[in-house]
Amino acid sequence: MNPVFKIILQRLALGLLTLLIVSFVIFTAVNLLPGDFAQAILGQSATPEAIASIRRDLGLDQPFFARYFVWLGDMLQGDLGVSYAQLNFQTNMGAAELKTVADQIAPRFANTMFLAGVTAAIAVPFAVGLGVLAALYRNSVFDKVANISTLTSISSPEFFLAYILVLFLAVLNPLLPSIANIYQGIPFTDRLIATLLPALTLTLVVTAHMMRMTRAAIINLLASPYIEMARLKGVKPLRIITHHALPNAWAPIINVIALNLAYLITGVVVVEVVFNYPGIGQLFVDAVKNRDIPVVQACCLIFAGAYILLNLAADILSILTNPRLRHPK
C-alpha cells in the first residue's frame, strides 16, 4: 500500500475514534446537568403523571447506556432527533407536535458557514500577506507594529472587539449595520453587508495566530543554504520569500490556518450573540437556555465534527506538501 494512503487511512480512523469518544463525553455531560428535562418542558404546575408520561414518550425513563446507543444509532442514520423546545402540547389529547432538530440546525449552520467563509476570505490572505511582509522587513517598525497590533487583538475578549467595531463602524461612522438582520431569501449583497461586522470581529481574533506562524516559518527558512544561494545569485528578497521560502513553509502555516478555520465554526458563539447573528452559535445558546437537550447535543457534535475534520484536513495537507512525510524512511 502507498505510504501516503496508509497514513491518510490511519488519520481518518483516528478521527472517527476521536469523534466516537467525544460523542460519549457530550452525551454524558449533557445528561449530568441538574434538573429534570420533562419538568422544565412542562413547567412548575405539571402533575407527576404528566411528567412521567412525557419522560416515557421522550425515552428519558430508559437506562443511560440504552439512551446513548439509541441516540448514537440515530445520529449515524442522519436522524438528529426532535426539539424539546418546539413541543406544543394539545390541551385535549396531551399530544405533541415535534419539530426535528435538523429543521432547526440546517439554515443556522448554513448561516454560520457563510460567516466563516467571509471571515476566511478576509483573514487568510490578510494574515499570510502580513506575515510575509513582517518576515521581509524583520525587526523594522512595520514588523513591530504588526506584532503589537495582532497581539493586542488576540488578547482582547471577542465581545470587547465587537463593541469597539460597533462603536466606530456603526455608531460614530454608520457604515455597517450593528445587528446582522439576515432572513430567508435575503439578496447576496445585503447578506454580505450584514455579515461584514461580525466577520471583521472574527478576523481580528484569528489573524494573529496565522500571521505569527507565517512570519516564524519564513524566518526559520531564510537561514537555509538554498536561500543563501538564491541571495548570492542576486534574487530579489520578495521573490526569495514567495518563490523559495513560502512553498516550503506551507506545512505549519496550513496547520494554523486549519485550526483557526475550525475556530470560525466552533468559536462563533460569542460573536453571533453580540450581533444577534442567526447562526448555529446563537441556536446553541438558545437551546441551553431552553434546556433543549437534542439541539444542544447535536450542536456540540457538529462543533466537534467540524474541528476534527479540519484538523484531519490539515494533517493530510501537511503530508502532501512535505516530501519527508510523503516518503518516510
- pLDDT tens, 46-101? 677 777 777 777 777 788 888 888 888 888 888 887 777 665 443 333 444 556 88
| Residue 294: C-alpha distances to residues 13, 60, 223, 268 (Å) | 26, 12, 54, 20
Question: 0.85 cut: is pTM over it?
Answer: no
Q: What is the pLDDT of residues 108-165, one digit of tens each?
A: 888 998 998 999 999 989 998 888 888 888 888 988 898 888 888 888 888 888 889 9
**Burial class of residue 266 in the structure, from the number of CB atoms within 10 Å of its CB (0-12 exposed, 13-18 middle, 19+ buried):** buried
Position 24 scores a pLDDT of: 92
Give the three cell numbers for residue 67: 439512551
What stretch of H or E contains 124?
A: helix 101-136
Q: Say what the pLDDT of residue 156 is.
A: 83
pLDDT at residue 89, as a whole number? 41
pLDDT digits (tens, 9 = 90+) for 215-231: 888 888 777 888 888 88
Which pLDDT belongs to residue 21? 92
Q: Are 269 and 281 in contact (CB under 8 A)?
A: yes
- Which parts of the chain are beta strand (E)? 88-89, 96-97
Most confident of 30-34, 87-91, 283-287: 283-287
pLDDT confidence of residue 98:
57
Q: What mean pLDDT do residues 286-292 have?
A: 80
Q: Note the pLDDT of residue 139.
A: 84
Phi, psi of 78, rounded to the nearest 5 degrees: 85, 10
- CATH number for region 111-326: 1.10.3720.10
Q: State residue 37's pLDDT score.
A: 67
Give the three-state DSSP class for 267. coil
Instruction: State the pLDDT at residue 35.
Output: 65
Placement of cell 442567526 in the chain: 278
Would the pLDDT of 323 be above 70?
Answer: no
Question: What pLDDT score was predicted for residue 92?
Answer: 36
Mean pLDDT of the chain: 81
Distance CA 228, CA 224 (A): 6
What's the pLDDT tens digit per position in 174-199? 888 888 888 888 888 888 998 999 99
Mean pLDDT of all residues in 8-18: 86
> Which pLDDT does position 198 carry in this prediction?
92
